[in-house]
Amino acid sequence: MFLIEGLITILVASFAYFYISDYPENSNWLNDKERKFAIERLKNDAGKAHIKHLHLDKKQICAAFKDWVCEINF
């Protein structure tokens, strides 16, 4: 049973690897309106994450390590 499920998973994954594109700009299966919407949504979702020169202070780094949620993740 596990072999059959594994084989189906491998077939679907290999199809998805070649069919699904990395970026909306490269997608063949989106029309122009959907592509533009996806690009704008990704830019909006990224927020300040796409800033190249992000400056961190020692205070910010210490605050991150003092946060108990960060301690749980390590």
**Which tens digits make up the pLDDT trace of 14-72?**
998 988 888 888 888 889 999 999 989 988 877 666 566 667 788 888 888 888 777 77
Q: Which residue has the higher pLDDT, 4 or 68?
A: 4
Q: What does 3-70 look like in DSSP terms, one character per residue?
A: HHHHHHHHHHHHHHHHHS-SSGGG-SSS-HHHHHHHHHHHHHHHGGGG-S-----HHHHHHHHHSHHH
The domain total for the chain is 1
Within a domain: residue 32? yes
pLDDT at 74 over 80: no
Domain that holds residue 28: 23-74
